[in-house]
Amino acid sequence: MSKTVLPSGRVQPRFAGICTFLRVPQVEDVASENRPIDWAIYGVPSDAGVTFRPGARFGPRAVREASQYIKPYLIEQGVHLAERLSIADAGDAPVNPYSCRQTLDGVAAFASKLGEARQTRLLAIGGDHSIAYANLKATWERRGKPAGGLAVIHFDAHMDTVDEVWGEKWGHASPFRRAIEDGLIDPKSMISIGIRGTLNDPADLNYARQHGVTLVKFDEWRKGGPQALAAFVSRLAKRETYITFDVDAVDPAFCPGTGTPVAGGFTSAEALEAVRSLRGINLVGADIVEVLPDRDVSEITATFAAQLMAEILGLSA
Ligand code: MN
Ligand code: MN
């Protein structure tokens, strides 16, 4: 059983030392000790793909900072992360602030080299949602390019399946359209939860619907959504599954620090409960995106994202 060597919060205070995600060791340190790595966490400080308010490029640093107070034992899941998993911080992927496409290529290349292809799962912290494409691509390739693609559990106020915006096909409105086109994910094994608010055009929902994505609008979530998610998960059985979490799935009252806020979403407690309910899935990768520290208040959003990271890791322990 692999473990993570963490500095004790009772020896080295949580506000001291070099700031890594969840205070886990850096990838190089783990690799030099020849330990396996179950999860490589890395930041993608890119917001080249945003359509509205920029600033998610500062997300990884804010989430790293907020994660210092996250302790290794998860009360609700009954899981001790450090006892059950070897987790390492791989730093930040290379980005080009002027180019979505070059950023995605660079991120996928960086992620492809982390740890061992099958043993080491990838948890990416954005950055805007465009970066999900790169982490999905790297994950799909590392799993041996499963035919039909990965299953996806997607939390978001938005579908992110728009073809292009201002000629840009790789921005944060489009990652799942590109991932479906490229066979990285299976739309019939994808569920999008928390969709709500307004659209430029109702036809923006057509692509996902026509390709068989299961869509759970937030109003539907409130009327039996958890049961629908449980049924979806049981249909997946042990299918390789990826979680992508856009913090704007959560109500801006609970996650104000994000670039495209939509009123009327999850409370943070509801969102964490929904993620905890996924215990038992065959989780092969994940991302958390759209934390925008400049709009955050008292680190509310970054604190949520840090807790979410721990809960997602816990699902696999
Ligand atoms: Mn999104
Ligand atoms: Mn969104």
Which residues of the chain are under the pLDDT cut of 70? Answer: 1
Whether residue 127 has a cis bond before it, omega within 30° of 0: yes
Rounded to the nearest angstrom, the distance between the alpha carbon of 126 and the centre of ligand 2 is 12
pLDDT for the residue 181? 98
pLDDT for the residue 186? 98
Alpha-carbon gap, residue 203 to 102, rounded angstroms: 29
Which amino acid appears at position 73 of this protein?
Y
Ligand found nearest the CA of 248: 2
Rounded to the nearest angstrom, the distance between the alpha carbon of 49 and the centre of ligand 1 is 11
Please answer whether residues 142 and 117 qualify as being in contact, where contact means their C-beta atoms are separated by less than 8 angstroms.
Answer: yes
Please answer whether residues 178 and 162 qualify as being in contact, where contact means their C-beta atoms are separated by less than 8 angstroms.
Answer: no
Rounded to the nearest angstrom, the distance between the alpha carbon of 74 and the centre of ligand 1 is 27
Q: Report which of 242, 232, 37 is spatially closest to residue 146, judged by C-alpha positions.
A: 242
Alpha-carbon gap, residue 48 to 118, rounded angstroms: 30
DSSP H or E segment with residue 190: strand 185-195
Ligand found nearest the CA of 194: 2
Domain coordinates in residue numbering, the chain: 21-315
Angle at 49 between CA 43 and CA 50, to 5 degrees: 105
Alpha-carbon gap, residue 147 to 57, rounded angstroms: 33
Alpha-carbon gap, residue 96 to 108, rounded angstroms: 13
Instruction: Supply the Cα-derived Rg of the chain in whole angstroms.
Output: 18
Alpha-carbon gap, residue 74 to 67, rounded angstroms: 14
pLDDT for the residue 31? 86
Rounded to the nearest angstrom, the distance between the alpha carbon of 202 and the centre of ligand 1 is 17
pLDDT for the residue 58? 98
Structure tokens at 313: 């890791």
CATH superfamily label, 21-315: Ureohydrolase domain (3.40.800.10)
Rounded to the nearest angstrom, the distance between the alpha carbon of 14 and the centre of ligand 1 is 31
Ligand found nearest the CA of 244: 1
Please answer whether residues 119 and 40 qualify as being in contact, where contact means their C-beta atoms are separated by less than 8 angstroms.
Answer: no
Residues 6 or more apart whose CB falls under 8 angstroms from that of 2 comprise 35, 36, 37, 38, 85, 86
Buried b / exposed e across 25-49, counting CB within 10 Å, b at 16+?
Answer: bebeebbeeebebbbbbbbbbbbbb
Q: Report which of 226, 165, 213, 225 is spatially closest to residue 185, judged by C-alpha positions.
A: 213
Virtual torsion, Cα 64, 67, 68, 73, nearest 10 deg = -140
Angle at 284 between CA 280 and CA 256, to 5 degrees: 85
Alpha-carbon gap, residue 287 to 22, rounded angstroms: 15
pLDDT for the residue 1? 58
Rounded to the nearest angstrom, the distance between the alpha carbon of 260 and the centre of ligand 1 is 9
Rounded to the nearest angstrom, the distance between the alpha carbon of 18 and the centre of ligand 2 is 31
By three-state DSSP, how is residue 140 classified? helix
Rounded to the nearest angstrom, the distance between the alpha carbon of 282 and the centre of ligand 1 is 23
Rounded to the nearest angstrom, the distance between the alpha carbon of 3 and the centre of ligand 1 is 32
DSSP H or E segment with residue 61: helix 59-66
Rounded to the nearest angstrom, the distance between the alpha carbon of 224 and the centre of ligand 2 is 22
Residue pLDDT, tens place only, 167-209: 999 999 999 999 999 999 999 999 999 999 999 999 999 999 9
